[in-house]
């Protein structure tokens, strides 16, 4: 059993085998192998408590079928089920997704990282700049001239075929 401590001092006890899905944690455990129990506590300072909960839920779901995922030999039905579960798991607000991306990056969990990035890009896809700005609360501090003239002319090549 190892203990994760989030930035707001909450403790999470996780089975070592489960937490091993994070390559960062696996390395830390490997480094500290054979030491006392007190050393089996890992501080995760850049993550608040809401995220470890989600990460652990994700780990537990994937822990049930690690080998099958690795070898891509999962039955069609199971794969379908996992896909549905992941869709539900990632169906959350963009802030949580951002935190998940950060967590997955620092803990080195490739599948979680990819899933969260994919979801964010799905949210941003097929939307105008204003819509994206609204959803992700990006503050547009461009001046009127910049927005109306400078940037459109800078990027005109993308949308208009000016050489044609």
Partner 1 sequence: MDSEEHQMEVSLNNDRITDLPDDLKCNILARLPLKEMVGTSLLSRMWRYTWASIPNLVFNEKYFMSIRELVRFVDMVLLLHQGPICKFNIYCLDFTHVPIERWMLVLSRNEIEEITIRCSLSYRWRICSCFFSIQSLKKVYLRNCTLMLPHVFCGLKHLQTLNLFACTISDDDLEKLYLLQCGCNLELPLKFEHLKELSIQLTLHDQNEASVAFFLLQNAPNVQYLSILNRPEGPDDFMPIGNLWDLNMQKIALEHLKFVLIDYRGSVTESGLLLVKLLLSAAPLLEKVHIKNYKKDFEFVKNPESLSSPVSTLRNRLKKRYLHTELRLVRLIGSVYTLWLDLYLSFRFVLSMNSRELEISNLMDCDKHQK
- Residue placing its CB nearer to partner 1 in the complex, 36 or 125: 125
CB of 52 to partner 1, least distance (A): 17
Can you give the C-alpha Rg of the chain in angstroms?
A: 21
* Region binding partner 1 by CB under 8 A among candidate stretches 8-16, 32-40, 59-67, 127-135: 127-135
* Total interface residues for partner 1 by CB under 8 A: 35
Residue 77's φ and ψ, nearest 5 degrees, are -65, -45
Interface with partner 1 includes 111 (CB under 8 A)?
no
| Angstrom distance (rounded) from CA 22 to CA 64 | 15
**With binding defined as CB under 8 A, does residue 15 bind partner 1?**
no
Binding range to partner 1, per CB under 8 A, among 35-43, 59-67, 76-84, 116-124: 116-124
144 lies in the binding site for partner 1 (CB under 8 A)? no
CA dist., res. 83 & res. 88, Å (int): 9
Query: 37: which DSSP letter?
Result: G
For residues 120 and 132, give the distance between their C-alpha atoms in angstroms, rounded to a whole number.
11
Q: Is 108 in the site for partner 1 (CB under 8 A)?
A: no
Instruction: Report the site for partner 1 in 23-62 (rule: CB under 8 A).
Output: none
Determine, following the binding rule CB under 8 A, whether residue 87 of this chain makes contact with partner 1: no
- Which value, to the nearest 10 degrees, does the dihedral of the CA atoms of residues 26, 1, 43, 92 take? 80
Residue 156 main-chain phi, psi, to 5 deg? -55, -30
Binding residue for partner 1, selected from 35, 77, 137, 144, defined by CB under 8 A:
137
């Amino acid at each position: 059993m190892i203990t994760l401590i989030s930035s707001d001092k909450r403790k999470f006890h996780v089975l070592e085998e489960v937490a091993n899905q994070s390559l960062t944690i696996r390395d830390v455990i490997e480094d500290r192998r054979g030491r006392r129990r007190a050393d089996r506590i890992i501080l995760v300072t850049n993550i608040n408590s809401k995220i470890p909960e989600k990460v652990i839920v994700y780990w537990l779901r994937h822990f049930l079928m690690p080998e099958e995922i690795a070898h891509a030999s999962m039955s069609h039905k199971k794969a379908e089920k996992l896909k549905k579960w992941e869709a539900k798991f990632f169906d959350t607000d963009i802030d949580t997704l951002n935190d998940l991306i950060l967590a997955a990056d620092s803990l080195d969990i490739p599948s979680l990282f990819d899933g969260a990035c994919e979801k964010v890009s799905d949210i941003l896809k097929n939307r105008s700049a204003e819509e994206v700005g609204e959803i992700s609360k990006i503050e547009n501090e461009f001046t009127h001239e910049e927005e109306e003239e400078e940037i459109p002319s800078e990027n005109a090549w993308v949308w208009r075929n000016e050489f044609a």
